[in-house]
Every structure is written in C-alpha cells, then in structure tokens.
C-alpha cells in the first residue's frame, strides 16, 4: 500500500463506520403490579369476557353436568345424582335468565307405557329436587321420552345403565317483549242473513 492510497482507504473506513446502525435500546421494564396508593394494583392487559363464560348452555352441559342416572326401575335419587343436581340448582340460581326442561328416559325393557310413566316420575323427582334447592317452579318443566330415545343401543346392562337417566336441558329465555298497545279492531258491518219469510217457498 502506497502513501497515496492510505487517505482513500481511511476515508472509506470512516464512511462505513458512520453508516453503521446503533444497537436498539433495550425495552423498558414494566411492572404490572405497580404500587398505587400504598397497595399493589395490577395494571397489565387482561382478556375480557372470561367471567361470563359459564352463562351458557354448553357450560351447563359439560361442566355442571346435565345427566342423572337411576337404578333399574327406580325413581330414587342416589347420592351421586344429588351431587349433580345440587350443582344444577346452584347454576340455575346464578343464572335466572335460563329455563330448564327435565327429560325422563328409561331402558328398553318393559312396555312403552310403563317406561313413559317411569321417565315422567324420574323427571318429576329431579324437578322437585331443583325446586327444593331454590329454583323457581315456573322455570322448570318435565317431559318423558320413555325408552324412545336411548343414549346407548345394545341389549345388555352396559347400555341399560346409560339409558336409565334424566337430562336437564337449559335454554336462555327470550327477552320479555314490551306490551303491545291494544288496537281496537275496526267494526266491520255484520252481514245480516235474510230472514226467511214466513210462508216463502210454499
């Protein structure tokens, strides 16, 4: 390298150094639990809407539990059934905007009439338990399918045990409609049937 090229090379190196980008500054550290007024308060982001997730029919079905099983030919509530129904009653009490239909079912053995009656008594037993635990009677109605809608189809005890059940189906009640003003109907003239003349057609 001769003396004439040294200044050119030095200028090029200085030019490259001037174009180099500085390292970005580190992001500031944010304490989401910053102290405010002598206490720690969470100030970070929190997804909304999670507190009302249980107010759905799907939550009732999957988390609360909508099915109660019965022993053969029985309408007596077992301790397991009472535990499920206590959760149902608590949920219905927390969510007064829902109504419930208790569907009674039976296994395939027995006559159609017997199983319809058995399903109705099972549904009534569930309804009475829910009412006794604080649910308004006018929010619950019962329905019996007897053996017409089995949960499992086979001819042994493994299926019979699944079909001896009640299923509580909840539905969000429609908002009440505002009263409709009574509009008097137009008074249409009433057609008068001709009075038969005495002796006419004789």
Structural domain contains residue 71: yes
Model confidence over 158-170: pLDDT tens digits? 999 999 999 999 9
Q: How far apart are CA 140 and CA 131, in angstroms?
A: 8
Q: Kindly report the backbone phi and psi dihedral angles of residue 80, in degrees, each rounded to the nearest multiple of 5, phi listed first.
A: -65, -40
Model confidence over 21-44: pLDDT tens digits? 778 887 776 666 666 666 666 666
Model confidence over 134-161: pLDDT tens digits? 999 999 999 999 999 999 999 999 999 9
Q: What is the pLDDT of residue 193?
A: 45
Structural domain contains residue 189: no
| β-bridge partners, 39 | 36
Contact between residue 133 and residue 19 where contact means Cβ atoms under 8 Å apart:
no
Q: What is the pLDDT of residue 27?
A: 74
- DSSP per-residue letters across 104-147: EE--SSS-HHHHHHHHHHHHHHHHHHHHHTT--GGGEEEEEEET
For the chain, give the mean pLDDT: 81
With 50 as the cut, is the pLDDT of residue 197 above it?
Answer: no
Structural domain contains residue 127: yes
Contact between residue 70 and residue 111 where contact means Cβ atoms under 8 Å apart:
no
CA distances to 3, 12, 16, 18, 173 from 7, in Å:
8, 9, 14, 16, 87
CATH number for the domain that contains residue 102: 3.30.1330.60
Structural domain contains residue 34: no
Query: What is the number of other CB atoms lying within 10 angstroms of the CB of residue 9?
Result: 10
* 67-69/165-172 β-pairing: antiparallel
Instruction: State mean pLDDT over 53-81.
Output: 95
Structural domain contains residue 153: yes
Structural domain contains residue 1: no
* Residue that wins the pLDDT comparison between 8 and 172: 172
Range of lowest pLDDT (39-43, 55-59, 70-74, 173-177):
39-43
Instruction: State mean pLDDT over 44-69.
Output: 82
Residue 65, domain extent = 57-172
Based on the structure, what is the number of domains in the chain? 1
């Amino acid at each position: 390298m001769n003396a004439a090229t040294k200044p050119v090379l030095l200028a090029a190196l200085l030019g490259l150094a001037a174009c180099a980008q500085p390292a970005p500054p580190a992001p500031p550290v944010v304490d989401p639990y910053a102290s405010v007024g002598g206490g720690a308060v969470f100030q970070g982001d929190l997804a909304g809407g999670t507190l009302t997730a249980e107010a759905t029919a799907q939550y009732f079905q999957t988390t609360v539990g909508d099915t109660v099983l019965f022993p053969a030919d029985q309408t007596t509530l077992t301790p397991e059934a009472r535990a499920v129904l206590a959760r149902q009653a608590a949920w219905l009490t927390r969510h007064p905007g829902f109504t419930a239909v208790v569907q009674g079912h039976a296994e395939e053995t027995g006559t159609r009439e017997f199983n319809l009656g058995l399903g109705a008594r099972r549904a009534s037993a569930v309804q009475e338990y829910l009412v006794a635990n604080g649910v308004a009677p006018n929010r619950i109605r019962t329905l019996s399918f007897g053996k017409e809608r089995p949960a499992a189809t086979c001819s042994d005890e493994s299926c019979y045990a699944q079909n001896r059940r009640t299923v509580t189906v909840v539905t969000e009640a429609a908002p009440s409609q505002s009263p409709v003003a009574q509009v008097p109907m137009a008074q249409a003239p009433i057609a008068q049937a001709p009075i038969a003349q005495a002796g006419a057609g004789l």
